[in-house]
Amino acid sequence: MSEILVIGHRNPDTDAICSAIGYAEFKRRTGMPKAVAARCGDLNDRINFVLHTFGVPAPKFVADVSPKVADVMQRKILSVRPDSTAAEALRLMDEKNLRILPVMDAGMKCRGLLSLFKLSKFLFPVVVQAANTREVLASLTSLAHTLDGQLVTGTEVEREEELILMIGAMGLETFAARLKRFPPEKCCVIVGDRLDIQNVAIRERVRVLVVTGGISASPEVIESARKHNVSVITSPHDTATTASLCRAAVAVHHVLNETFLCFRENASLAAVRDEATSSGYLAFPVLNAKGETVGILSKTDFLKTVSRKLILVDHNELSQAVQGADEVEIIEIIDHHRIGALATQQPILFRNEPVGSTSTIVADCFFRHGVELPRPIAGLLLAGVVSDTLNLTSPTTTPRDREILKQLEQISQVNAREFTEKLFASGSLLTLKPAPQAITTDCKEYAENGIKFSVAQIEEVGFDQFWKRKDELLAALEDYRAGKAYLFSTLLVTDVVTQCSLLLVVGDETYIRRIDYPRLEPGIYELRDVVSRKKQLLPYLTHCLREKDKGIKA
């Protein structure tokens, strides 16, 4: 996969989505054509409102970027059908230098694997099984096809049957006596231009007479064969070669390995590596969700390098990044949050600025480099700025945000104040979503000195819906905290009109006692003039955490 995914954090907000789309556009216009906007979480009503307003499709959804089986598997499947002959399979394996060949039915379902080792044992059995070399399981049609011969005359030529090979290379009397030791209806007599042997075989009503050496059966022999219900095949090969080829006329479904190991195309390479490498199989069919075979994975495919790359926007901590981000190359980070613990294998472009939104940084990239900013993208970036800064009223707002927003208004021809009103009126999480979904729609995980906790935020117009649902929100928050084993979890509900918030906290009691904002009810605190999770709430929460560790009151 050669795409470079420009992707925001889990549970993306408007700024994460808009900055991802905007920065992917910037990268494509500055020499990175494979840059693709992506997301690793669901969209909410406000994001959908923004995308619909400016006519821009949602970013590609990618739940996991870790290397998958589909990234390294061989998509061009070389296979044979169940009714193909062993000769056809061997020819293909020789041409393509294969040791394993899948057997596929018409519905692209793998019926089994054909191994060169098992085929060789079947066609050339050991000495103690040498008697088996005279046994052939095939139809007359497949027999003629395998020999590159011609079926001159015959009956029930498509019926698969067991045949006993007899070579007419001895004296007539000896041959006639030997022929009587086997059921004639099962005999396949292979002979050159010996007319006497041919006639005896026909008189005894053998199942099939194979005339070798590229010799045409005489009209008299063919007529006699028809009268005695004997089939006739002519072979262009000599008698020895013809005899050795006959066993390869068997249909491959008789000699395949029906037991095999297969994987799903979206399975993690790391998850299947040990199972695959420790198994005795050399190749593994790869299935899609419908059970169809879409590729073949070999043990050597695990050595391939997956070229997937990431550009992170609006976050820089792996705990907030798309699953599998630690297994692929991160080449850039564009963000405006605190710098968390993230190590890279090599130097990268890391642009982290103390501005109100990542969309501000992305818009500045266009302006600073003189790159044309399309009107719809300008509209998206405007939405990202007003969403993260509450239309420049948040304490995170900087003069740079104000300057960028004016330029975005001009290009998009959108009034920021009017748009902000429509944006926050476009969807209330507390009205539209169940409590478990509402508390996780914009939720981020943080780690401080090895302690993990979560901080979510919901922006509403007024607190009416909150007070109606406070109990179920607290219960959902506690369930979420317990499921993630966090020390504590918080939810900041912000009234964008009054610029005040309510804070819900659940978890460790010794930590909660450090919170000294006015408590309205158990687990609910009033935070006047607090609207920013990043600049106001998070620093306070980490301060309380440090004070808890010291054992003193905050």
Higher per-residue pLDDT: 22 or 327: 22
Domains, the chain, in order of start with CATH, read 4-67+307-425 (3.90.1640.10), 86-254 (3.40.1390.20), 429-550 (3.10.310.20)
Q: What is the pLDDT of residues 251-305, one digit of tens each?
A: 999 888 888 999 999 998 988 999 998 888 888 999 998 889 999 999 888 888 8
Q: Which of 51-55, 151-155, 243-247 has the lowest mean pLDDT?
A: 243-247
271-281 residue pLDDT tens: 899 999 888 88
b (16+ CB within 10 A) / e for 462-480? ebebbeeebeebbebbeeb
Give how far the C-alpha of residue 502 lies from the chain's centroid of Cα atoms, to the nearest Å. Answer: 41
DSSP string, 47-108: HHHHHHHHT-PPPEE-SB-S-BHHHHSB-S---B-TTSBHHHHHHHHHHHT-SEEEEE-TTS
Q: Collect all residues with Cβ–Cβ distance below 8 Å to 529 and sequence separation of at least 6.
A: 499, 500
Average pLDDT, the chain: 91
pLDDT at 486: 96
User: Stretch 439-454: mean pLDDT, rounded?
Assistant: 91
pLDDT band at 1 (very low <50, low <70, confident <90, very high): very low
CA distance 356 to 388: 6
pLDDT of the residue at 450: 87
Helices (H) and strands (E) in the chain, counts: 20, 23
Kindly state the percentage of the chain with pLDDT values over 90: 69
- Confidence band, pLDDT 50/70/90 cuts, at residue 553: very low
Strand partners, 402: none
pLDDT digits (tens, 9 = 90+) for 68-120: 999 899 999 999 999 999 999 999 999 999 888 999 998 889 998 988 888 88
- Using one digit for the tens of pLDDT, what is the confidence trace for 448-480? 888 999 999 999 888 989 999 999 999 999 999
Average pLDDT over residues 163-172: 91
Contact 86, 252 (CB under 8 A): yes
Q: Tell me: the pLDDT tens digits for 369-403?
A: 999 999 999 999 999 999 999 899 888 999 999 99
Give me the mean pLDDT over the 210-225 stretch.
94
**Considering the entire predicted model, what is its pTM?**
0.65
pLDDT of residue 306: 81
> Which of 83, 96, 116, 72 has the alpha carbon at shortest distance from 295?
72
Instruction: Write down the pLDDT at residue 11.
Output: 86
pLDDT score recorded for residue 424: 85
Give burial (CB, 10 Å; 0-12/13-18/19+) of 404.
buried
- pLDDT tier at 132 (50, 70, 90 boundaries)? low
d(CA 195, CA 217): 9
What confidence score (pLDDT) does residue 431 get? 85
